[in-house]
Structure 1
Amino acid sequence: MSFCKVKELSFLDLSKNKFTETIPACLNVSSLRYLHLEGNEFTGFVLKVLSEASALVTLDMRNNNLIGRIPSWISSLSNLRFLLLGGNQLEGSIPPQLCYLKNVSMLDLSSNNLSSFLPSCLHKVLFGSKITFDDVTVWLNSYEWSSDYPLSTYSYESQLQIDPRVESYDATTDYEEQVEFITKSRSELYTGKVLKYMSGINLSFNNFTGPIPNEIGFLSDIRALNLSHNQFTGFIPTTFSNLKQIECLDLSHNKLNGQIPLELIEMTFLSKFSVAFNNLSGKIPDKKQFLTFDNSSYEGNPLLCGQLLRESCNNSSSIEPSSKPIIESDPFKDTFVWSLIASYIVAFIASFIIFLCCTDYSERLLMYVRAKFVVFSF
């Protein structure tokens, strides 16, 4: 509880411990800029006290046991740049309030129980845009414990000592921030200036459904997008051709169908690409960077074909089934035709009988029957 006496706490890193209880609700978070609680055993909901941390730049609570929904008050964190909540048990949909976090450059909600449709308003978040860095700067001064002082169990007689360089820390600057983010199928640590140019969304291993919003293709500065292991359906948006800076695009293990848009060859920086285990069909692009991807990028799509897969698109077993409509009989039309035929037959027989019985009108009836016969034949 003595944490609550700290008045200007800016950087708090308690990551990779075995804490089970959340930080005290009385903690003064008005000056808090970086909060790292990753890799503990925290339970319950996302800390409500953080709704008052308007200066927060990094919120890292990955790999805990958080439950409930992403809170709607998340929109109050207007300076947030790194929102990392992956590896928990969060559920429900992504609240539209998250779209108000325009400064976010890294969003990790992977490995949760999130579901429903993906909000199209995510394109309002400036992932990777240079505007993101105008107001929030991450400096290169590192935080560390001094090697001049041994660490020991806390007691009144011994206490942790901070490097003197950090004690002279200027409140107008920031510590060097380090953020872990999964891209290109591996976890990477981004620090300092490199961190300023990295941006990405990781929503993998959830239960999102419905089509991928076309608006996601408007995130022209994003560098990594991972939507794998969900339940997305529909087509791959052609608007993804606008992702000019993207280096990693993973859409594998979904229920996407249709063809891989040829427009994706415009993603010239793309080095990691996967649409494996979907329901895609047709010819895969065979130009530019798509010539560098191996078969693992496309496995699990038996209807895909192309030179890179050594599967001819002329092979009936490899191309998409014909979309031509199958002509089926119309019961109403058949009934009408047979009724009309029967009517003419009855009329012919009746006319013939009258012709035999009434010789006075035989000549006129004969002409009438002949006329009917001609019409029927036509």
Structure 2
Amino acid sequence: MLDISNNNFRGHIPVEIADVLPSLYAFNNSMNALDGSIPSSFGNMKFLQFLDLSNNHLTGEIPEYLAVGCVNLKSLALSNNNLQGHMFSRNFNLTNLKWLQLEGNRFVGEIPQSLSKCSSLEGLYLDNNSLSGKIPRWLGNLTRLQYIIMPNNHLEGPIPVEFCQLDLLQILDISDNNISGSLPSCFHPLNIKQVHLSKNMLHGQLKRGTFFNCSSLVTLDLSYNRLNGSIPDWVDGLSQLSHLILGHNNLEGFKH
């Protein structure tokens, strides 16, 4: 393990880093002042499980060879850099990923199909990029997901009904996108604590099945949408709810 985070390291990551540290299993070089691109030679680190290069000034794309060669990688944190382009190509072999943190960059395009291979994924952090396209339905098949954090992008289309399969989900944040359609009535993960759907184009009524029996729900933010009808009585049953934000919709009052 090598942890040199939160210092004042500057310059580029050495191109030959994998030749110097071939057996490294964890590398934390976050919160420094690194610039330049991510070396492709990371793909030669066959034992690497944790890579954190977040909070630097890195540029360019995620090297394809990294996404092919780091077969044992469980956690990849590249957040808050200046990375760009598409996240991953079809040549992707990070199937053991549990945590993917790419927020605060300039990634474009759709959420890549290649991530559907990550059956162990627990945390997906893609906020504050320029991602577009629909939220893929296959995300609902990644049943170990606990955190889906994707606000402030250009995502569109409905919330996939397959999200109803995410029984372990704790936080869903897809606010500040272009999400449309109605809320899936079957969506009520037992352990969910926060739901942030504000600043989208959701419409229709709050159906009884949606969020029903979500006894752990603390925050529900549906503001700045196009919801209508009455606020349903199941809100009274959310015993842990402390933040209910419904402003800037077309709601009419409480349903009795």
Decide which moves more: 30-39 or 117-126.
Answer: 117-126
SS in 2 for 1:50: helix
Structure 1, residues 164-213: CA drift from partner, whole Å, max 9, x if none? Answer: xxxxxxxxxxxxxxxxxxxxxxxxxxxxxxxxxxx201000001011001
Deviation at 1:228, TM superposition (A): 1.0
AA partner of residue 192 (structure 2): L
1:17 aligns with 2:45: no
Q: Which has the higher helix share?
A: 1
Structure 1, residues 149-168: CA drift from partner, whole Å, max 9, x if none? Answer: xxxxxxxxxxxxxxxxxxxx
| 2:165 matched residue in structure 1 | 242
The one of 222, 229, 233 aligned to 1:298: 222
SS in 2 for 1:252: coil
SS in 2 for 1:288: coil
Deviation at 1:268, TM superposition (A): 1.4
| 1:263 matched residue in structure 2 | 186
AA partner of residue 41 (structure 2): V
Is the contact between residue 280 and residue 304 of structure 1 (CA under 8 Å) also seen in structure 2? no
AA partner of residue 289 (structure 1): C
Deviation at 1:97, TM superposition (A): 4.6
AA partner of residue 277 (structure 1): K
1:38 aligns with 2:30: yes
Deviation at 1:96, TM superposition (A): 2.7
Is the contact between residue 21 and residue 42 of structure 1 (CA under 8 Å) also seen in structure 2? yes
Tell me the percent identity: 27
Decide which moves more: 81-90 or 268-277.
Answer: 268-277
The one of 75, 80, 83 aligned to 1:82: 75
**In the superposition, relative to structure 1, how do residues 289 and 94 fare at CA in structure 2: closer, same or farther (>3 Å)?**
same
The one of 75, 93, 104 aligned to 1:100: 93
Name segments (4+ residues, structure 1) moved above 3 Å.
23-27, 290-294, 308-311
**In the superposition, relative to structure 1, how do residues 250 and 243 fare at CA in structure 2: closer, same or farther (>3 Å)?**
same
| 1:278 matched residue in structure 2 | 200
Deviation at 1:270, TM superposition (A): 0.9
Alignment gaps of 5+ in structure 2? 236-243
Deviation at 1:292, TM superposition (A): 4.2
Structure 1, residues 76-133: CA drift from partner, whole Å, max 9, x if none? Answer: 00010110000001111122357421111000000000011111331211234xxxxx
Q: In 2, Cα distance between the equivalents of 1:291 and 1:25?
A: 47
The one of 58, 71, 93 aligned to 2:50: 58
**In the superposition, relative to structure 1, how do residues 306 and 47 fare at CA in structure 2: closer, same or farther (>3 Å)?**
farther
**In the superposition, relative to structure 1, how do residues 83 and 305 fare at CA in structure 2: closer, same or farther (>3 Å)?**
farther
AA partner of residue 208 (structure 1): L
- Report 1 or 2 for greater relative contact order, CA contacts < 8 Å, sequence distance ≥ 6: 2
AA partner of residue 268 (structure 1): L
Q: In 1, Cα distance between the equivalents of 2:58 and 2:3?
A: 18
TM-score w.r.t. the length of structure 2 is 0.84
Deviation at 1:47, TM superposition (A): 2.0
Where in structure 2 are the equivalents of 1:1-378 lying within 5 Å? Answer: 11-27=1-17, 28-74=20-66, 75-97=68-90, 99-128=92-121, 199-265=122-188, 267-284=189-206, 285=210, 287-289=212-214, 292=217, 294=219, 297-307=221-231, 308=235, 317-318=250-251
Is the contact between residue 84 and residue 108 of structure 1 (CA under 8 Å) also seen in structure 2? yes
Q: In 2, Cα distance between the equivalents of 1:122 and 1:96?
A: 10
Q: In 1, Cα distance between the equivalents of 2:184 and 2:131?
A: 22
Structure 1, residues 304-362: CA drift from partner, whole Å, max 9, x if none? Answer: 44425899xxx9x559xxxxxxxxxxxxxxxxxxxxxxxxxxxxxxxxxxxxxxxxxxx
SS in 2 for 1:280: strand
Task: Specify the structure having the higher radius of gyration (Cα).
Answer: 1
**In the superposition, relative to structure 1, how do residues 290 and 206 fare at CA in structure 2: closer, same or farther (>3 Å)?**
farther
Q: In 2, Cα distance between the equivalents of 1:101 and 1:14?
A: 24
RMSD: 2.3
Q: In 2, Cα distance between the equivalents of 1:62 and 1:48?
A: 17
AA partner of residue 206 (structure 1): N
AA partner of residue 108 (structure 2): S
Structure 1, residues 212-257: CA drift from partner, whole Å, max 9, x if none? Answer: 0100110101111111111101100000011111111111111101
Q: Size of the alignment, in residue pairs?
A: 233
